Amino acid sequence: MGNTSTMVEPATPAGQGSNHTLISLRGVSKWYDTPSGRFGALKDVALDVRRRDCVAVVGKSGSGKTTLINVITGIDSPSSGRVQVAGAAVHSMSQEQLAVWRGRNVGVIFQFFQLLPTLTVAENVMLPMDFCGTYDSSERRPRALALLDRLGIADQAGKLPADLSGGQQQRAAIARALANDPPILVADEPTGNLDSRTADDVMSLFARLAREGKTVLMATHERDVSRFFTRTITLVDGVVQAPFFAGVKSC
């Protein structure tokens, strides 16, 4: 099973996604050397994700979800294979190139929100614009406030993250991910730290963003989320299982 190449979508030749393909992985493997031996987190993964897809990556703990997300966002590099995202060969970029590329093309959302604790919510949202030099400096705050408003937490803009509830913090993190208007949103267990009602709200939010034109890729350990996604990719021991197309309910 570990050496089986798996395709979840009819794939175009490696690295040359069709006009609709925004994320393309070919023969991607990731190995870690551990005290107990070599561990394969991803094994020969091939994957295409189209523009405006709303994709859930599901699997048990240790199945390779986070590694897949990290490889796609350039947070981690594959041991072998090619990763093409938004026209960029992510697998061959330097850390510096990745930083600039990621800031403009991918919005990353983490399980523990990871807002910077010493900045207010609005300042957290302004930070990617500041680093990437997008938008005029006079436009950044109004844009941050508009994003927060869109996510329903405009009234929390001046507060520090510690003063917000978990759900509000995750909304702020999503607003930050949207700051540079990236085409892709990638989230790693964004509801893992939320109660079920808030988790549903956040899931709905992602679905809405996909409808509005974003491509969403989300790692989650919850299986009962298919109603929010156009596709679900299941990972077992680093190998992508047969494709499962959910009924399009929300996306």
Partner 1 sequence: MLSPRWKKLLGDLRSAASRFAMMAAAIAVSTAAVGAILSSYAILTREVSRNYLGTNPASAQLEFSAADDSLVRKILTRPGIADAEAGSTVLARIEVAPSQWLPLMLFVVPGFDRLRINAFRPESGAWPPPEGSLLIERTALPLTRTQVSKPISVQTSNGQKRSLSISGLVHDPGLAPAWQEQTVYGYLTPATLRALGESGDLHLVKIVVRDNAGSLRAIEDTARRLATWLGEQGWPVEEIRIPPPRMHPHQSQMMAILVMLLIFSLLALVLGAILAATIISGFLAQQVRQIAIMKAIGARSRQIAFLYAGLIAALGAASVALGLPLGLAAGRGFSSLAARLLNLNIYSYSVPWWVWAADLLLGVAVPLGVALVPILGAVRRTIRDAINDYGVDKQSVGASMIDRLLARFRNPDPALSMAVRNTFRRRARLALTLALLATAGAMFITSLNLKAAWEKNLADARADRHYQVEVRLENAVPESKAAALVGAIPGVERVESWNILPAAVDSPGHFTIVRTYPDGGHGSFTLRSAPPQTDFIAHRVQEGRWLRPGDTDAVVLNHMALALLPNVKVGDVISLIVEQRLVQVRVVGILREMLTPAAAYATPEGFAIAAGQAGLTNAVRVALKDARAVDSVSRSIEQALARERVAVKVSITESRFDEAQTGHVYILVFALIFMALVMAVVGSLGLASAMSAGVVERTREFGVMRAIGATSRVVLRNVVSEGVFTGLLSWLIAIPLSLPLSTQVGNLVGSLSFRVPLPLFLSPGALGIWLLVVLAVSAVASAFPAQRAARLTIRETLAYV
d(CA 195, CA 193) in angstroms, rounded, equals 7
Angle (CA) 161-167-171 rounded to 5° is: 75
d(CA 11, CA 15) in angstroms, rounded, equals 10
Residue 203 identity: M
Q: How far is the CB of 11 from partner 1 (least distance, A)?
A: 26
- Pair of tokens at residue 243: 């494709």
Considering the complex, state which of residue 105 and residue 226 has its C-beta at the smaller distance from partner 1: 105
d(CA 151, CA 154) in angstroms, rounded, equals 8
Considering the complex, state which of residue 33 and residue 96 has its C-beta at the smaller distance from partner 1: 96
SS3 category, 95: helix
| Pairing state between β 37-50 and 21-34 | antiparallel
Considering the complex, state which of residue 26 and residue 176 has its C-beta at the smaller distance from partner 1: 176
Considering the complex, state which of residue 89 and residue 99 has its C-beta at the smaller distance from partner 1: 99
Q: How far is the CB of 121 from partner 1 (least distance, A)?
A: 11
Q: How far is the CB of 131 from partner 1 (least distance, A)?
A: 4
- Pair of tokens at residue 189: 């267990």
Compute and round to an integer the Cα radius of gyration of the chain. Answer: 18
Q: How far is the CB of 116 from partner 1 (least distance, A)?
A: 6
Considering the complex, state which of residue 4 and residue 34 has its C-beta at the smaller distance from partner 1: 34
Q: How far is the CB of 160 from partner 1 (least distance, A)?
A: 9
Q: How far is the CB of 75 from partner 1 (least distance, A)?
A: 4
- Pair of tokens at residue 183: 């085409």
Residue ranges in contact with partner 1 by CB under 8 A: 70, 73, 75-76, 95-96, 99-100, 102-104, 107-108, 110, 112, 114, 116-119, 123-124, 126-128, 130-132, 137, 176-177, 179-180
d(CA 81, CA 92) in angstroms, rounded, equals 10
Considering the complex, state which of residue 74 and residue 167 has its C-beta at the smaller distance from partner 1: 74
